């Protein structure tokens, strides 16, 4: 099989340091005498705010491996070189995506030629320049994108996900 | 910006959730799914004992896991009058798909109607009658009474030939053995309706006459043959897009196990691109022929095989017609049938002649023949499985081309054996069980032309939308609308009158050239805009439904939710029409005719199944099918042993061919001589226009998008029908990606959105078939073959820009579809 991937995601190590989830602990059930009390749970998934990198760490069109919301959820952070909708940073071109294919959870590989993420298993592909839109494939959702913000010192934080990540029924594991 | 569901968490299926067998109701492959339902006030937990999977869901699950489902697989639906939570996910234990979901089937849950989540609110919930200028919801009794009174008047004052019927003949969706029997009994037993047509073609006919006439049923293999074979020979098909999990779960393992692949298609399809990835490009041969020349190619391959002595002489001697002509060419047979020797008198074509006609190198044709038939080095025969679909079925010279394909399989002994078979790939699942249709005749009436000529007075339509899926659609729509508007005007003019006066007004309008239209469907379709009565049907899983897939695998797809509103299974709607006809005819004093409409006292779809399919197949019951689960049983069912239905893995393993009904059991070869463009008008149109307008499918859409037109994920990807073009052609026409364009020829005009596709040949475009926002059928001429099979695939036109990209189209991805690894 011809292989022109820049990043072999199948063999890489995920970043682990500094990526401990900061989600609040689930409220404990308090059982009164003879009557159960309702749990106090939040309506939405409470996403951790994790520092992924500093802008200075990124080179154009060279994806950086990340994990978000935790180390078991691999993704990439990439500076595309051209502003895109939803992109952050001074050039509006920094985005981050899950790289677990939402079809069957295979690891996607990045093709720098056309800035796409491609699945070696069943050939689905996703456009990093269009919000992770599935260009063609079998998944029934577009690629989960990580919501980013950039601090004044150039630190890039992720603090949200817009689709369900493959392999977990809650984006933040509990 | 791509559509996102903003779902970060889904309810977990509790360990004790109810479980149902589901066969995907979309394509013919019929992937197995499981549906789980549980009450609104309950949910599973992450601990293994708290969820259906028995695993720790607080951990990330691995690739290919069974213990995950996407938001599209979840919904809230009604079950026995209560809201319940629903997950429909692929079944790892189904041999068809082994846990793979498709982009179509894995949205089944999301494409269910739900009052809670608001999905598919377009579904019809109540009968509608045209009243005072609007479609007014009403009772079944009222709607069926009007249908029966008008229909009874027209067929008794004229004849049953004045009732025109469009009806699905397929399985899955709203088809299946129950519903084809219900409609079939009504129109072919209680009545003898001759002027009828099928959902996707303008007559009531087979799509594969020649295969059947040759003795070969078109679904004769098992899917596992793709993994057992030496060569996959595919013509006019694109299984990666359209039979996705047949490709991924059966063809790909074959390719990875060393099989070669020959694909005949004018276009470089995704199937070709993916096969090159899986098998290596050196093991995939793409014959990119000129459009419509498949027949010449097949004849040259057959000639090469015969001349090289690669035929299976033993098989031919034992199983095929020995000498001369068995069936002469006539009005009902567009080619004669007989021995191989006889067929060769018409089929013989040299490699060079074919290369000239088809526009591919002679050496490639020779290589295809070698890959298909050349014995291996040790002298053993080569196994080849042959498959074809719409590129052939809706292509040039249907009868002879399919005959030429089957000729190759017969000559090489590749039917009824492991790793063999010559089969259509199929569209919908199959689910045909009806009384005999011999009265329809062959060739059958060209029903669209019958209606266009002003004939027929009542049109009953069952789950067909000819606005999107017929040829010559511009003219058809114009006439159908004009004629049905005459009846609407008459109804409006009779406002305030009694039922009798309204029926009189309708019948007068019909006699003046009008058309009374009854539309049975799950949604308010485009042709439904012309209807006077609309009857709401339900789908698979809102009822129990039996169908078989492309390897004849019969399953019961179980009911897990209530029909939407007051909708009903088609079988029970047909019963309602019959019962109303009986009552009205009796009132009219036509007792003998009324008696013909007895025998519909069905309370459930199972009653219809027992009245029809079970009578012909007494071993098969719902209870037994339920026990066979998602792997079901391959038809024909030949017994019931040890609590299991016994089926048939592949047909013709005894070398006796029977589909033509011949007692000698001998298969016939087809004298399929090449004759250029068969259908009228094609050659002239080709000469007059720049672009060949190929109509194609995309994996994301199911058929004419009847549900997907209201699915945000789908419409976000393609807000307009795509028209793929070579980028250089786009530049010449001043088109940017996402610009809106129209396609023009003498037949009509249609519209779509420009999408660059560098792998396309110049001066050809690939336009998606059946789109609600741009019907490709508008520009297809009325040309059909001798047996009224349409040639949808061959259409030429000119292209004109109508607008710059819209806000919707500008934001989508226009990158190439081929994976880059």
pLDDT average, residue stretch B335-361? 98
Q: Name the pairing type of β-strands B764-768 and B796-803.
A: unpaired
How much is the pLDDT for A24? 37
How much is the pLDDT for A43? 81
Q: Which residues of chain A have pLDDT under 50?
A: 1-32
The least confident of A32-41, B2-11, B186-195, B559-568 is A32-41
DSSP string across B553-591 = EEEEEPP-SPPSTT-B-HHHHHHHHHHHHHHHHHHTT-H
- A123 catalytic per annotation: no
B265 close to B241: Cβ distance less than 8 angstroms? no
Sign of the dihedral defined by the CA atoms of residues B815, B816, B819, B821, in that order? negative
Residue B550, pLDDT above cutoff 80:
yes
B71/A161 Cβ within 8 A: no
Closest CA to B451 of B418, B491, B479: B479
CA distance to partner chain A, nearest, from residue B276 (Å)? 8
B403 close to B214: Cβ distance less than 8 angstroms? yes
State the virtual CA torsion across B362, B368, B372, B376 in degrees, nearest 10. Answer: 80
What Rg, from alpha-carbon coordinates, does chain A have? 18
How much is the pLDDT for A33? 56
HSE-CB of B473 using CA atoms within 13 angstroms: 26
How much is the pLDDT for B1? 75
Q: Which of residues 490-509 of B touch A (CB under 8 A)?
A: none
Closest CA to B421 of B226, B666, B260: B226
CA distance to partner chain A, nearest, from residue B755 (Å)? 12
CA distance to partner chain B, nearest, from residue A160 (Å)? 9
- Give the active site residue among A16, A122, A123, A149: A122
pLDDT > 70: percent of chain B = 100
Q: What is the pLDDT of residues B234-278, one digit of tens each?
A: 999 999 999 999 999 999 999 999 999 999 999 999 999 999 999
pLDDT > 90: percent of chain B = 99
DSSP string across B653-722 = TTS---TT--TT--B-EE-----S--STTHHHHHHH-SEEEEEE--TTS-TT-TTGGG-HHHHHH-SS-E
Q: Is the Cβ of A123 closer than 8 Å to some Cβ of chain B?
A: yes
- A103 catalytic per annotation: yes
Residues in chain B: 821
A122 close to B699: Cβ distance less than 8 angstroms? no
SS3 of residue B352 by DSSP: helix
Instruction: Give the Å distances, CA to CA, from B651 to B243, B618, B637.
Output: 21, 20, 12
Residues in chain A: 174
CA-CA distance, B219 to B429, in Å (whole number)?
11
CA-CA distance, A50 to B134, in Å (whole number)?
57
Instruction: Give the Å distances, CA to CA, from B7 to A26, B85, B198, B381, B591.
Output: 19, 16, 41, 55, 61
B322 close to B197: Cβ distance less than 8 angstroms? no
Largest Cα–Cα separation, chain B: 85
Q: Is the Cβ of A98 closer than 8 Å to some Cβ of chain B?
A: no
HSE-CB of B481 using CA atoms within 13 angstroms: 10
- The tokens for B392 are 């052939």
Containing H/E element for B320?
none
How much is the pLDDT for A13? 38
**Beta bridge mates, B667:** B320
Looking up tokens 């018409």 gives B346
- Option in B59, B106, B277 nearest A123 (CB): B277
Contacts of B802 (CB under 8 A, 6+ apart): B740, B741, B742, B751
The whole-chain average pLDDT of chain B stands at 97
- The tokens for B536 are 């709401």
- The tokens for B73 are 């697989």
CA-CA distance, B165 to B202, in Å (whole number)?
11
Instruction: Give the Å distances, CA to CA, from B151 to A81, B147, B154, B551, B680.
Output: 67, 6, 5, 39, 35
User: What are the phi and psi torsion angles at B719 (to 5°)?
Assistant: -65, -20
Compute how many other C-beta atoms are within 10 angstroms of the C-beta atom of residue B345: 12
State the virtual CA torsion across B786, B791, B797, B801 in degrees, nearest 10. Answer: 150
Q: Is the Cβ of A45 closer than 8 Å to some Cβ of chain B?
A: yes
B2/A167 Cβ within 8 A: no
**Using a CB-CB distance cutoff of 8 angstroms, which residues of chain A are in contact with residue B813?**
127, 129-130, 133, 135
Angle between helices B294-307 and B398-411 (to 10 degrees): 20
CA distance to partner chain B, nearest, from residue A19 (Å)? 15
- The tokens for A125 are 């592909």
CA distance to partner chain A, nearest, from residue B103 (Å)? 4
ipTM for the predicted complex? 0.96
Q: Which of residues 13-32 of A touch B (CB under 8 A)?
A: none
How much is the pLDDT for A39? 63
**Using a CB-CB distance cutoff of 8 angstroms, which residues of chain A are in contact with residue B101?**
103, 138, 140
Give the model's confidence band at B716: pLDDT under 50 very low, under 70 low, under 90 confident, else very high: very high
Q: What is the pLDDT of residues B44-56, one digit of tens each?
A: 999 999 999 999 9
B820/A118 Cβ within 8 A: yes
Q: Is the Cβ of A167 closer than 8 Å to some Cβ of chain B?
A: yes
- Option in B60, B64, B815 nearest A114 (CB): B815
How much is the pLDDT for A42? 77
Containing H/E element for B390?
helix B390-393
Sign of the dihedral defined by the CA atoms of residues B22, B25, B27, B28, in that order? positive
Question: Where would I find the H helices in B394-454?
Answer: 398-411, 447-452
Q: What is the pLDDT of residues B453-471, one digit of tens each?
A: 999 999 999 999 999 999 9
CA-CA distance, B14 to B320, in Å (whole number)?
58
Q: Is the Cβ of B46 closer than 8 Å to some Cβ of chain A?
A: yes
Sign of the dihedral defined by the CA atoms of residues B197, B198, B201, B204, in that order? negative
How much is the pLDDT for A11? 38
SS3 content of chain A, % helix, strand, coil (to 5): 0, 30, 65
A2/B821 Cβ within 8 A: yes
pLDDT average, residue stretch B580-586? 98
- Option in A105, A125, A168 nearest B64 (CB): A105
Query: Which segments of B384-523 are extended strands (E)?
Result: 384-388, 422-424, 458-462, 516-521
Q: Is the Cβ of B4 closer than 8 Å to some Cβ of chain A?
A: yes
pLDDT average, residue stretch B548-576? 98
Residue/partner pairs of B124-127 with CB below 8 Å, 24 or more apart:
B124/B521, B124/B522, B124/B523, B124/B524, B124/B534, B124/B536, B124/B537, B124/B564, B124/B565, B124/B567, B125/B536, B125/B564, B125/B565, B125/B566, B125/B567, B126/B536, B126/B565, B126/B566, B126/B567, B127/B533, B127/B534, B127/B535, B127/B536, B127/B566
Looking up tokens 């009557």 gives A35
Q: What is the pLDDT of residues B380-406, one digit of tens each?
A: 999 999 999 999 999 999 999 999 999
- Option in B8, B716, B811 nearest A161 (CB): B8
CA-CA distance, B742 to B803, in Å (whole number)?
10
Q: Is the Cβ of A86 closer than 8 Å to some Cβ of chain B?
A: yes
Q: What is the pLDDT of residues B777-804, one digit of tens each?
A: 999 999 999 999 999 999 999 999 999 9
User: What are the phi and psi torsion angles at B771 (to 5°)?
Assistant: -75, 140
B821/A1 Cβ within 8 A: yes
Tally: H helices and E strands in chain B: 28, 30
Query: Which segments of A7-93 are extended strands (E)?
Result: 50-54, 64-67, 74-79
How much is the pLDDT for A34? 59
């Amino acid at each position: 099989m011809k292989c022109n991937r820049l990043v072999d995601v199948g063999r890489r190590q995920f970043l682990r340091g500094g990526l401990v989830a900061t989600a609040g602990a689930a409220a404990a059930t308090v059982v009164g005498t003879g009557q159960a009390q309702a749990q106090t749970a939040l309506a939405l998934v409470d996403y951790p705010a994790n520092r992924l990198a500093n802008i200075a760490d990124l080179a154009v069109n060279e994806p950086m491996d990340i994990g978000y919301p935790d180390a078991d959820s691999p993704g990439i952070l990439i500076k595309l070189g051209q502003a895109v909708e939803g992109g952050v940073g001074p050039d509006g071109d920094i985005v981050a995506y899950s790289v677990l294919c939402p079809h069957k959870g295979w690891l996607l590989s990045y093709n720098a030629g056309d800035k796409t993420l491609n699945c070696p298993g069943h050939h689905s592909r996703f456009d990093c320049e269009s919000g992770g839109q599935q260009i063609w494939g079998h998944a029934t959702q577009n690629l989960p994108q990580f919501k980013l913000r950039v601090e004044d010192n150039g630190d890039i934080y992720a603090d949200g996900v817009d689709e369900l990540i493959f392999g977990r029924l809650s984006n933040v594991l509990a | 910006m791509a559509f996102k569901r903003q779902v970060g968490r889904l309810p977990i299926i509790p360990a004790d959730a109810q479980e149902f067998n589901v066969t995907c109701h979309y394509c013919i492959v019929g992937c197995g799914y499981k549906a789980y339902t549980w009450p609104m006030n309950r949910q599973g937990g992450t601990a293994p004992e708290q969820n259906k999977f028995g695993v720790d869901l607080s951990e990330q699950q691995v690739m290919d896991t069974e213990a995950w489902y996407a938001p599209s697989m979840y919904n809230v639906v009604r079950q026995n009058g209560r809201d319940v939570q629903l997950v429909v996910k692929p079944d790892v234990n189904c041999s068809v798909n082994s846990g793979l979901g498709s982009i179509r089937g894995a949205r089944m849950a999301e494409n269910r109607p739900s009052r809670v989540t608001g999905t598919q609110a377009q579904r019809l919930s109540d009968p509608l009658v045209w009243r005072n200028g609007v479609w007014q919801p009403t009772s079944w009794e009222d709607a069926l009474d009007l249908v029966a009174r008008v229909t009874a008047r027209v067929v008794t004052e004229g004849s049953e030939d004045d009732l025109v019927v469009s009806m699905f003949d397929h399985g899955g969706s709203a088809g299946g053995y129950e519903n084809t029997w219900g409609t079939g009994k009504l129109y072919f037993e209680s009545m003898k309706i001759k002027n009828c047509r099928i959902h996707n073609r303008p007559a009531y006919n087979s799509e594969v006459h020649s295969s059947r006439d040759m003795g070969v049923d078109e679904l004769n293999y098992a899917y596992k043959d793709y993994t057992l074979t030496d060569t996959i020979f595919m013509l006019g098909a694109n299984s990666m897009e359209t039979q996705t999990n047949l490709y991924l779960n059966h063809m790909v393992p074959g390719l990875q196990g060393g099989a070669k692949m020959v694909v005949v298609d004018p276009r470089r399809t995704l199937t070709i691109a993916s096969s090159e990835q899986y098998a290596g490009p050196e093991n995939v041969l793409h014959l990119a022929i000129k459009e419509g020349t498949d027949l010449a190619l097949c004849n040259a391959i057959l000639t090469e095989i015969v001349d090289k002595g690669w035929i299976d002489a033993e098989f031919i001697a034992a199983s095929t017609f020995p000498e001369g002509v068995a069936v002469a060419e006539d009005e009902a047979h567009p080619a004669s049938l007989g021995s191989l020797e006889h067929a060769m008198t018409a089929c013989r074509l040299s490699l060079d002649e074919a290369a000239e006609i088809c526009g591919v190198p002679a050496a490639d044709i020779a290589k295809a023949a070698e890959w298909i038939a050349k014995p291996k080095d040790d002298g053993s025969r080569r196994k080849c499985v042959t498959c074809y679909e719409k590129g052939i079925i809706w292509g040039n010279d249907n009868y002879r081309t399919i005959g030429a394909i089957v000729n190759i399989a017969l000559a090489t002994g590749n039917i009824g054996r492991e790793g063999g078979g010559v089969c259509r790939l199929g569209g919908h699942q199959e689910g045909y069980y009806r009384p005999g249709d011999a009265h329809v005749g062959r060739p059958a009436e060209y029903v669209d032309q019958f209606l266009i000529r002003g004939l027929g007075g009542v049109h009953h339509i069952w789950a067909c939308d000819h606005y999107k899926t017929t040829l010559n659609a511009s003219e058809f729509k114009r006439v159908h609308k004009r004629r049905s508007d005459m009846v609407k005007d008459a109804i409006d003019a009779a406002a305030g009158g009694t039922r009798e006066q309204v029926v009189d007004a309708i019948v007068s309008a019909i006699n003046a050239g009008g058309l009374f239209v009854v539309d049975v469907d799950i949604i308010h379709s485009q042709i439904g805009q012309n209807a006077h009565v609309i009857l709401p049907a339900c789908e698979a899983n809102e009822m129990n439904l039996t169908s078989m897939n492309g390897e004849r695998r019969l399953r019961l797809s179980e009911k897990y939710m209530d029909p939407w509103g007051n909708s009903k299974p088609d079988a029970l709607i047909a019963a309602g029409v019959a019962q109303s006809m009986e009552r009205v005819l009796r009132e009219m004093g036509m007792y003998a005719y009324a008696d013909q409409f007895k025998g519909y006292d069905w309370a459930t779809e199972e009653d219809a199944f027992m009245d029809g399919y079970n009578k012909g197949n007494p071993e098969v019951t719902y209870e037994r099918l339920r026990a066979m689960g998602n792997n079901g049983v391959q038809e024909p069912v030949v017994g019931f042993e040890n609590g299991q239905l016994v089926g048939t893995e592949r047909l013709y393993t005894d070398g006796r061919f029977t589909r033509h009904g011949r007692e000698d059991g001998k298969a016939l070869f087809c004298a399929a001589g090449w004759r250029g463009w068969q259908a009228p008008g094609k050659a002239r149109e080709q000469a007059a226009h720049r672009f060949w307008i190929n109509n194609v499918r995309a994996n994301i859409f199911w058929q004419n998008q009847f549900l997907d037109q209201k699915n945000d994920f789908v419409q976000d990807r393609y807000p307009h029908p795509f028209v793929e073009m070579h980028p250089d052609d786009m530049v010449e026409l001043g088109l940017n990606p996402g610009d809106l364009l129209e396609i023009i020829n003498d037949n009509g005009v249609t519209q779509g959105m420009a999408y660059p596709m560098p792998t396309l040949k110049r001066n050809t475009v690939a336009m998606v078939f059946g789109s609600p926002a741009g019907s490709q059928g508008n520009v297809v001429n009325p040309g059909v073959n001798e047996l009224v099979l349409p040639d949808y695939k061959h259409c030429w036109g000119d292209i004109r820009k109508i607008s710059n990209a819209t806000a919707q189209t500008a934001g989508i991805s226009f990158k190439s579809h081929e994976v880059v690894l």
